[in-house]
Chain A
Amino acid sequence: MNNRIAHIASNTFREAVRDRVLYNLIAFAVLLSAAAIFVGQISIEIEKLVVINLGLTAVSLFGIVIAIFIGIGLVSKEIEKRTLYTVLSRPVRRWEFIIGKFFGLTGTLVVNTFFMAIGVFGALLYVSHKFVRADALIFVALYFIILEFIIICSLSLLFSSFSTPLLSAVFAFSLFVIGSFAEDLRGFAAMTHGFTRWLATGAAYLIPNFSALNIVSSIAHAQPVPSQLILHNSLYALFYAAMALSGAVIIFEYRNLK
């Protein structure tokens, strides 16, 4: 990786890990995983299912909140506070700044996911007393959650490159919610005709398909994940993130800083 990108990424990571809000969110996610134990105890025979479902959903949701919360301020806050002036007056290209920020935020989320996953596995060990081979599938679900984070980080950066933090948060969170129903939207598009079909199909393919990345339920039921799905989802997430980041770079390249 380009050295300057690595330095910007590492500074972004440092900034994120020194933010107290981050720890509150992680603590809350770990607490929720622990709470899954108690919910599991009142769900006879399906404790494990409840723990995996609730635990992984908490990892995903809190990760998304962290990604949006930090991501939306990454560029706009630097412009607002004018910290960007002393960075861009050095031999740093604007695209390097955006890419560095992206890697820094993604790195933060990967580390967070690691700690939150420890909470999930801890809760699982508590209810099952041992790990079985099928539990390894949780790693696939965690990998898909990280792919979700990669997409949402790139979208947050895209919105942050031209909008205020508040609007960016609204846009990013709305896309996450709509994207979670992307398969339904595609189904709806298939049922319609004419202009509506074009419109619905266009929208269905434009929004990020988070529903394809959510395999928490099937993992909880120990259903195997086809390797083709892993490959497709990986390529999809990387392509989508690359497109969103390209948009962010293009907007930022031509933006006059206040």
Chain B
Amino acid sequence: MPAIEILGLEKIYQVGFWRKRPKVALRPLNLTVEDGEIFGFLGPNGAGKTTTLKLLMGLIFPTAGSARILGRDWTDAEVKAQIGFLPEQPYFYDHLTAHELLNYYAQLSGVPAKERSHRVESTLQKVALPDVKGVQLRKFSKGMLQRIGIAQAILHDPKLVFFDEPMSGLDPMGRREVRDLMEQLKQEGKTVFFSTHILSDAEALCDRVAIIHKGELRGVGAIEDLTSTVKGKVELTWQGAQVPSAIKALGAECHLSGDTIRAIIDESKQEAAIDALRRERTRLISLTPLRTSLETYFLEKLRHAETTAGRSS
């Protein structure tokens, strides 16, 4: 059973005061997230990531479409007892202490009274905030608030966790801890759906990703599958003291080191480069395809979307 099934979810806002005009925030979105995976929802700012999350949380209502979460209708309030949600740049009741806040959320999530205190303590430990007893949230730094946000999302031991930009506001150490926490959640059998525009985080964590741009899904799949669709580069290494002019003509990026030359060229020019080296009678040491990064794929998709939009207009 998939953890999330999004079935044609669409959101169009009516903007303008006198003459209302439609503004598409999310085009019909179909997406399935499998149980137990870490799924990255990627896109630049304003792409529709937060809109999708708000729709799934029932904070805004769709123009069309529906969804199923953990096999149940998404509008079923009880299904929310099994999900956790960290909003983007979360705000909390700043008159409360971390313990009071988490206790309140535990109450609302239906955590039994006798378990609450232990659950609050262990969750604060988990997000590396053990010594905040009695301190009101108004005195917390941005990074600490982000940790509290993560704590409230996992406090009630949900099966599915939604994180909207979870690394935002965290220092490198904090980001590392959140990445470890997500891995831990996966090991516990939970599904993690997180939105981000930091591609290195997605690349390090995700089993699968989806790319959204201007409210439209541009690609979805495992990172290796997605990146393999983009023509990459290859690295050629051979023995020699000078770069042949034919190789230079191919636009190669060459590095000389002792009697070894290393050149990086487009995959499409690979055969031409080998022929050129043969003609020069040089000894080819290696030919290595360079892995296309998620960033390359992402930028390629965005460029393609811009070109398509440019042509249609």
Contacts and interface: CB of A to CB of B under 8 A. Distances in A.
B91 A83 contact: yes
Interface in A239-258: 254, 256-257
A86 interface: yes
A85 interface: yes
Contacts of B100: 14
Given A90-B109, A92-B108, A254-B61, A81 B77 contact: no
Contact of B108 (A18, A91, A257): A91
Nearest to B104: A11
Contacts of B59: 84-85, 88-89, 256-257
A19 B43 CA distance: 40
Contact of B152 (A14, A86, A256): A86
Contact of A90 (B90, B91, B105, B162): B105
A89 to B, nearest CB: 4
Contacts, number: 76
Contacts of B285: none
Contact of B109 (A15, A19, A82, A91): A91
Interface in B97-113: 100, 104-105, 107-110
B93 A85 contact: no
Contact of B107 (A3, A84, A257): A3
A257 to B, nearest CB: 5
Contacts of A82: 87, 89-91
Given A82-B87, A85-B59, A86-B85, A91 B110 contact: yes
A87 interface: yes
A4 B96 CA distance: 18
A254 B60 CA distance: 9
A11 B61 contact: no
A11 B87 contact: no
A81 B91 CA distance: 6
| B77, B95, B108 pick with most chain A CB within 10 angstroms | B108
Nearest to B152: A86
Given A7-B108, A254-B61, A257-B59, A15 B93 contact: yes
B54 interface: yes
A11 B108 CA distance: 11
A74 to B, nearest CB: 12
B92 A86 contact: yes
A101 B108 CA distance: 14
A87 B90 CA distance: 12
Interface in A1-24: 3-4, 7-8, 11, 14-15, 18-19
B80 interface: yes
Contacts of B162: 89
Given A91-B77, A93-B77, A86 B95 contact: no
Contacts of A7: 104, 107-108
Given A11-B104, A14-B96, A83-B93, A89 B57 contact: yes
Interface string A80-111: 01111111111111000000000000000000
Given A82-B91, A257-B59, A87 B108 contact: yes
Interface string A132-152: 000000000000000000000
B95 A88 contact: no
A251 to B, nearest CB: 13
A88 B58 contact: yes
Given A81-B91, A82-B91, A83-B92, A89 B104 contact: no
A39 to B, nearest CB: 37
Interface in B55-88: 57-61, 77-81, 83-85, 87
Interface in B169-195: none
A91 B57 CA distance: 10
Contacts of A91: 77-81, 108-110
A86 B162 CA distance: 11
A93 B58 CA distance: 10
| A18, A19, A88, A91 pick with most chain B CB within 10 angstroms | A91
Nearest to B100: A14
B107 A88 contact: no
B90 A86 contact: yes
Nearest to A257: B59
A92 B107 contact: no
Contacts of A8: 108
Given A3-B107, A7-B104, A257-B54, A90 B81 contact: yes
Contacts of A81: 91
28 contacts: A7-B104, A7-B107, A7-B108, A8-B108, A15-B93, A15-B95, A18-B95, A19-B95, A82-B87, A82-B89, A85-B87, A85-B90, A86-B92, A86-B105, A87-B108, A88-B59, A89-B58, A89-B59, A89-B83, A90-B108, A90-B109, A91-B78, A91-B80, A91-B81, A91-B109, A92-B77, A93-B77, A257-B54
Given A86-B85, A90-B81, A256-B59, 14 more contacts: A4-B108, A7-B107, A14-B95, A15-B93, A82-B87, A82-B91, A83-B92, A86-B87, A86-B92, A90-B105, A91-B77, A91-B81, A92-B77, A93-B77
